[in-house]
Amino acid sequence: MLHSVDPRLKSIRDKVEAGQRLSLDDGLLLYQDDIPLNDVGQLANLVRERINGNRGYYNINTHLNATNVCVYRCVFCAFRSDLRSPKGYVMDEDAILARGKEAVDNGCTEMHLVGGLHHKRDYDWYKGILKTLHGAYPDLHLKAWTAVEINWFEFLTKQSTEWVLQDLREAGLGSLPGGGAEIFHPEVRDKICEHKADSRNWIEIHRTAHRLGIRSNCTMLYGHIENAFHRIDHLIRLRELQDDTGGFQTFIPLAFHPDNTGLSHIKKPSVLMDLRTMAVSRLMLDNIPHIKAYWIMLGIETAQAALAYGADDIDGTVRHELIYHDAGATTPELLSVERIRHLIQEAGRDPVERDTLYREVIRDDQDFSKWHVGEQVAVGSMA
């Protein structure tokens, strides 16, 4: 049941209650500063509970960034390094395997792998990382390589998207993370990362992945030089692809962290902006089942609040995250399972451990590192 909302939201409220799609103009109105945030949040919460009930998802996961050396120079990135910089590193096979062991010993169901595009490493090096990890730890889901990396692999191998994705799947690829989307509109993309995969490349790579049965996530980097129109345009492009394929599992709005980047003069987005973006995303993306409040980037308290502003997932326990911590994130490096469950409960939601594909994870009572998956958790009506 909705409390009263600002009269200017009447038509949006009617659409949301009737499960109808919001337009570009609706999205722009929801982003107006003088539209009360709580009203937007209330509408988003209605949709969130309709689709995901009172569940608050988390997973037990770890990150692996095998190198930070990158040919690209995205102005928002604090993680990348030049080849000869003292900051540059490349992990060897032993170090990668040790990370796999640490993950499995700690009960992780997922490893999230992304990294720099190292111009002295060939495609087989990247593929070999998956092969090594999958060979040793076949139950660990490898959520690996954004569309930007897949596009780079196409360039290295001179092969098609389909060939690269099939080849990586044979090596152990489980799904694609949502990174590299940034802001699709060329007015922004050409200024922050003009050299890497453009919006068409990004979308077509995810379309191909979905056609091959590989699930993926999607993101939007906000709070830098873009405006509300660019954000709504971005969300609508994702919604259109999802209409065609249904292959996205979750959307993650990523708040820009300015420290040590080429945009360090920009202030990091406010909590109000974070919550509004979460809510607007839930309302616009009526066909994507999950919205993730990535606590590493939002901070724990905002991620908790976001569970009432459209989000139903707060990502995982996370180990070894570098991209946000290099850009000034002050969140801890990892959260214990007890802590993450408590945070979700404190926010009034029922914690559910999921695997990467949103199946419930059932743990062995005696040995926490042993687990199996249950059914895919049913999502409610998306309309």
Between 90 and 266, name the residue whose CB sits nearer to ligand V47.
266
Q: How far apart are CA 220 and CA 233, in angstroms?
A: 11
Find the part of the chain contacting ligand V47 (CB under 6 A) among 23-31, 216-224, 270-278, 374-382. 216-224
217 touching ligand V47, by CB under 6 A: yes
Residue 192 has, within 13 A of its CA and on its CB side, a CA count of: 25
| SS3 category, 316 | strand
Q: How many residues bind ligand V47 (CB under 6 A)?
A: 20
254 touching ligand V47, by CB under 6 A: yes
Q: Measuring CA to CA, which residue among 278, 239, 252 is closest to residue 31?
A: 278
Residues 258-317 that bind ligand V47 (CB under 6 A): 261, 294, 315
Query: What does the H/E/C string look like for 258-273?
Result: CCCCCCCCCCCCCHHH
Pairing of strands 290-291, 216-222: unpaired
In whole angstroms, how close is the CB of 304 to ligand V47 at the nearest point?
17
58 touching ligand V47, by CB under 6 A: no
Between 42 and 356, name the residue whose CB sits nearer to ligand V47.
356
Among positions 111, 221, 340, 343, the unique one binding ligand V47 when judged by CB under 6 A: 221
Among positions 184, 256, 295, 309, the unique one binding ligand V47 when judged by CB under 6 A: 256
In whole angstroms, how close is the CB of 18 to ligand V47 at the nearest point?
31
247 touching ligand V47, by CB under 6 A: no
252 touching ligand V47, by CB under 6 A: yes
177 touching ligand V47, by CB under 6 A: yes
What token pair was written down for 352?
Answer: 């559910």
Place of tokens 């949040």: 41
| Residue 263 backbone dihedrals phi, psi, to 5 degrees | -120, 35
CB within 8 Å of 227: residues ≥ 6 apart: none
What token pair was written down for 114?
Answer: 């992304």
Between 5 and 297, name the residue whose CB sits nearer to ligand V47.
297
Chain-centroid distance of CA 377 in Å reads 19
Residue 261 identity: T
77 touching ligand V47, by CB under 6 A: yes
The residue of the chain with the least Cβ separation from ligand V47 equals: 179
CB within 8 Å of 269: residues ≥ 6 apart: 222, 223, 255, 256, 277
Between 15 and 319, name the residue whose CB sits nearer to ligand V47.
319
Between 39 and 326, name the residue whose CB sits nearer to ligand V47.
326
Q: By the 8 A CB rule, do 29 and 16 touch?
A: no
Write out the residues near ligand V47 by the rule CB under 6 A: 76-78, 177-180, 182, 217, 219, 221, 252, 254, 256-257, 261, 294, 315, 323, 327
